[in-house]
A and B are shown apart, each in its own frame.
Chain A
Amino acid sequence: MSRTDRLRQGYSESAEALRATAEVLLHSVLLLILASVPLSAHRLDEYLQAARIGIDPDRVQIELDLTPGVDVARTVVAEVDRNRNHAVDADEAQTYAARVARDVGLELDGRLLVLHEVSRHFPAVVDVLKGEGTIRLLWTARAPGLAPGTHRLVYRNDHHADIGAYLANALVPASARVAVTAQRRDVGQHQIAIEYELR
């Protein structure tokens, strides 16, 4: 019998025992010694804001996902759903997206870049209130005529700094002409400076 066959046979024999163990495990939880298990906390009191930054030779693209936790969702919904009809209409979405854009800064080699909104997605209010809804904003900023060489892009997000938790990452560039050489962030990831080579 090969080693593989022996392993398989051993596995087969042990599967029944494993299943019995699993059943004991699953049906013995009443006996759990748990001092206290908090209600499953999926970032309840924070406003997660995750940015992914794509760099092309002549433009920068920012995708920002904003997910309020359950405990702060009412605050965010109140800011978005200003007429309080439990739905987000186009004007309300535009207003909130513009507010977020004002809180976001983008600089390339020390020059401010202008963000142009490409798309926005607002989930149903009920989903946001459940802590499941993610607002998705996509912007592009033109950076034409860049010379080959080293460049430095700085992204900063100060939206809802009172409750925000931030992530900021450069995507692997789609163009072979762009190579990210360094990413530097502050501790809280409000800001990321991305150095890259343009060939």
Chain B
Amino acid sequence: MKTLDDSGRAKLQFPFDGLQKTRWSNLPTGIFERKGLRMGDLSAAQRAAVTDLLTAALSRDGYRKVTEIIGGDEALHKVNGGPPGGGPPGGNRVIFGEDEYYLAFLGPPSTTSPWMLQFGGHHLAINLTMMGSQNSMTPSLPATQPAKYTVEGREIRPLGKENDKAFALINALEASQRSQAILAYKVSDLVLGPGHDGETIQPEGIRASALTPAQQAMLLDLIHEWVGIVTDAFAAPRMAEITATLPQTWFAWSGPTTNGSMAYFRIQGPTLVIEYAPQRSLDHIHTIYRDPTNDYGAKFVKP
């Protein structure tokens, strides 16, 4: 905040309770209007301050994931989104790229009062609510397009571990377990994506109580890909909570089970919803991470 002038601070700061809390989306600028501090409007020093903030709030792997998602969007920008660009009929031009990510604070940063760090853009929404040592990084939406790209000969897969660990788990199940886990219908999108706060659907698939200890460990490792986006000190109690309710957690799968195929999966427990939904392409993935009991810190933020 010290790197900003009054105008910048005014763009950054929102009331804790207000419309900004739910103003997040997977959609790009031009289709969805975000508010906050736009990365493209910042000086190098201000961008460095944002980076410092994100490296403090996120784990090493979480920060990697976020930057790779943004890198993917920058790839879209270079290929498709540069001026003059196309756009939807009757609307504004769709804009991709690293400049189109926004930072917002809801409530003033505090060690005692609730506040929220919101960072997002196309295919990314991080909503981190904090009050003292309590925190909730739900709802959050890590997604990516492209799902795989190459930088200087290095292959980048922002959500590659999520994909690979899920396929490893479904293939670690016995046939009878798999028949419970695999849904007999196609799931073409997130069920509880943006705009579906406060909804809890009936769980389906196989209960984790029907998994072996090794399979349960694989499931927890998969869950950690979302929980572990946030810094380790915040992720640890959350993982403990999820582990404690693992027997009541469900794993559901829709689609083929050979890695490299297009498949949807959902993990749902008393305090957890994770969905992974390819968007009719292996190269375009949406995911959502929720805690139906504690989205936006509902447990520790009492009205």
Q: Are B145 and A126 in contact (CB under 8 A)?
A: no
Q: Are B88 and A130 in contact (CB under 8 A)?
A: yes
Q: Does B171 contact A (CB under 8 A)?
A: no
A-B pairs with beta carbons under 8 A, tally? 156
Known: A39-B80, A187-B186, A189-B186. A34 touches B199 (CB 8 A): no
Residues of A within 8 A of B232 (CB): 7, 11
Of the stretches A21-29, A87-95, A155-163, the one at the interface is: A21-29
Partner of A183, one of B26, B96, B149, B204: B204
Q: Are A22 and B75 in contact (CB under 8 A)?
A: no
Give the size category of B's interface with A: 35 or more
Q: Does A57 contact B (CB under 8 A)?
A: no
Q: Does B213 contact A (CB under 8 A)?
A: no
Partner of B201, one of A11, A129, A170, A184: A170
Residues of A within 8 A of B64 (CB): 18, 22
Known: A26-B98, A129-B89, A130-B90. A41 touches B202 (CB 8 A): no
Nearest CB in chain A: distance from B287 CB, A: 15
Partner of B76, one of A37, A129, A189: A37
Nearest CB in chain A: distance from B196 CB, A: 8
A127 CA to B284 CA, complexed, in Å = 23
Listed A/B pairs (23) with beta-carbon separation below 8 Å: A11-B60, A18-B64, A19-B51, A19-B55, A22-B63, A25-B156, A26-B70, A26-B71, A32-B79, A34-B146, A40-B94, A40-B145, A42-B27, A42-B279, A50-B189, A50-B191, A73-B88, A129-B91, A130-B91, A131-B31, A131-B88, A167-B189, A171-B199
Q: Are B80 and A40 in contact (CB under 8 A)?
A: yes
Indicate the member of A25, A41, A188 with the most B CB atoms within 10 Å.
Answer: A25
Per-position binary interface string of chain B over residues 193-209, scored 1 when its CB falls under 8 Å from any chain A CB and 0 otherwise: 00100011110100000
Residues of A within 8 A of B201 (CB): 52, 169-172
Residues of B within 8 A of A24 (CB): 151-152
Q: Are B152 and A31 in contact (CB under 8 A)?
A: yes
Q: Are A26 and B200 in contact (CB under 8 A)?
A: no
Main secondary structure of the interface of B (DSSP, over half): loop
Q: Are B151 and A25 in contact (CB under 8 A)?
A: yes
Partner of B202, one of A38, A43, A169: A169
Using CB atoms and an 8 Å cutoff, list the residues of chain A in contact with chain B: 7, 11, 14-15, 18-19, 22, 24-26, 28-34, 36-43, 46, 48, 50, 52, 65, 70, 73-74, 125-127, 129-132, 134, 165-167, 169-172, 180, 183-189
Per-position binary interface string of chain B over residues 239-252, scored 1 when its CB falls under 8 Å from any chain A CB and 0 otherwise: 00000000000000
Known: A52-B201, A74-B89. A14 touches B75 (CB 8 A): no
A181 CA to B257 CA, complexed, in Å = 26
Nearest CB in chain B: distance from A147 CB, A: 22
Of all A-B residue pairs in the complex, the 4 with the closest CB atoms, nearest first, are: A130-B91, A22-B67, A129-B90, A185-B185
A73 CA to B87 CA, complexed, in Å = 13
Q: Does B7 contact A (CB under 8 A)?
A: no
A180 CA to B250 CA, complexed, in Å = 15
Q: Are B151 and A167 in contact (CB under 8 A)?
A: no
A22 CA to B154 CA, complexed, in Å = 13
Q: Are B185 and A189 in contact (CB under 8 A)?
A: yes
Q: Are A186 and B78 in contact (CB under 8 A)?
A: no
Known: A29-B74, A50-B191, A187-B185. A40 touches B200 (CB 8 A): no
Known: A40-B96, A130-B90. A180 touches B202 (CB 8 A): yes
Q: Are A126 and B146 in contact (CB under 8 A)?
A: no
Residues of A within 8 A of B71 (CB): 25-26, 29
Residues of B within 8 A of A33 (CB): 149-150
Per-position binary interface string of chain B over residues 155-190, scored 1 when its CB falls under 8 Å from any chain A CB and 0 otherwise: 010000000000000000000000000001111110
A25 CA to B202 CA, complexed, in Å = 41
A185 CA to B184 CA, complexed, in Å = 7
Q: Does B281 contact A (CB under 8 A)?
A: yes
A33 CA to B146 CA, complexed, in Å = 12
Q: Does B280 contact A (CB under 8 A)?
A: yes
Q: Are A132 and B32 in contact (CB under 8 A)?
A: yes
Give the nearest-CB partner of A134 in chain B.
B195
Give the nearest-CB partner of A42 in chain B.
B27
Q: Does B238 contact A (CB under 8 A)?
A: no
Residues of A within 8 A of B146 (CB): 34, 37
A104 CA to B76 CA, complexed, in Å = 39
